[in-house]
Amino acid sequence: MTPLRIAGIRLAATAAGIRYQGRDDLVLLELPPGAEAAAVFTTNAFCAAPVQLARAHLAQGRPRYLLINSGNANAGTGARGLADAEACCTALAAAAACAPEQVLPFSTGVIGEYLPVERIASALPGLLDGLETDGWEAAARAIMTTDTRPKTAATRCDLGGRQASVVGMAKGAGMIRPDMATMLAFIATDAAVPAGLLDELLRAAVADTFNAISIDGDTSTNDACVLCAAGTLAGGPVAARSTAAAVLGEAIHDVCETLAKAIVRDGEGATKHVTIEVVEAASAAEARAVADTIAHSPLVKTALFASDPNWGRILAAVGRAGLDALDIEQVRIWLDDCLIVSGGGRDAAYTEDAGRAVMSRDAFRIRVALGRGDAAARVITCDLSYDYVRINAEYRT
């Protein structure tokens, strides 16, 4: 098993009493001098104060610290929210002897409540004293909100005789339909990677991992995914368009995919893990539109929860995905290897028992062939259960 450790990167977690009682809710991640970082953020126009500030600070240079809190999103808090995020960065900068711009803040939790700045500031000295390279697991637990378990991943790859490590952690179980990444994800490598290449590798990895999952169709105000390169691996930086860059990019993608799948498996109230594959589309955008429409359909998702092979709901979702001149007689739909739709309707050999047998599994695939081209797309989603409604109805109580 690959260790959850990156040379030069240290983490610590503590209980600051931000919202939760008796559990850690504040994380500090320290990067070594000269480390590079790249990030992608939510496309929600109502983005949280920490998103605004982290984006601005990252544009000004290399960060030294990531400060992450759970329990309070610091979103929808206006000018005061931005001032509170800045105050936390300033307090950490004073304690760690760095510039405030070298601190990237991240928050997750309830929207519309002000950040308890004094509690956070008072916890910073203890966090600095507690930094350690083996702090990933504790940090992954501290950033949880409605998650039921921490999400971590690690792998190693061979960069021309050098063994590079990639480690990541993420949180997210609801408000997941990312238009960049997920609610919060932090990935790091010990390789030295130039800023431009690091950004390229991150965006390539995010595109069909974090950006291709959906729990409930909601894009959070606080989504952020950060990729850090510590530069502590001997042998010089990874060159763009090199074999090493491709190998490292694959390793980063693998970590992102593991974390993205873990988020869906831990979806609020989820009982099913469903991969939606759309093939034979005229374009990748068309394929993704169909996959998204199926994944976001409440009627499809509740049928998944009931293990009800209601193929009409899937067919209806395909039909309303906005495709021009769709020939429904060319469309075929499978549940795993069970063909349920062909020739414009229910396949002649299909039986309800066969469909129900597939949908009773905790993981399966919906495959749609459109008969229009050779483009494809994939989205990973889950069902919509009674517990999802309960969790979100009780979220602030």
Catalytic residues: 182
Degrees, nearest 5: CA angle 217-374-275? 35
Residue 380's nearest CA partner among 255, 261, 285, 269 is: 261
Residue 294's nearest CA partner among 323, 253, 256 is: 323
Pairing relationship of beta strands 273-281 and 184-189 according to DSSP bridges: unpaired
Query: In whole angstroms, what is the distance from residue 192 CA to residue 239 CA?
Result: 9
List b or e across 10-26, with b for residues whose CB sees 16 or more CB atoms inside 10 angstroms: bbbbbbbbbbbeeebbb
Residue where the block lists tokens 């062909």: 342
- Which tokens belong to 251? 């390793």
Query: In whole angstroms, what is the distance from residue 180 CA to residue 168 CA?
Result: 17
Find out whether 181 and 149 touch, Cβ atoms under 8 Å. Answer: no
Q: Which alpha helices (H) appear in 191-310, and where do they start and end?
A: 195-207, 243-265, 284-296, 298-306
Element (H, E) at 108: strand 103-110
> How long is the chain?
397
Query: In whole angstroms, what is the distance from residue 43 CA to residue 104 CA?
Result: 18
Query: In whole angstroms, what is the distance from residue 73 CA to residue 299 CA?
Result: 30
Degrees, nearest 5: CA angle 185-214-315? 160
Residue where the block lists tokens 């931005």: 82
Give the CA count within 13 Å in the CB-facing half-sphere of 304.
29
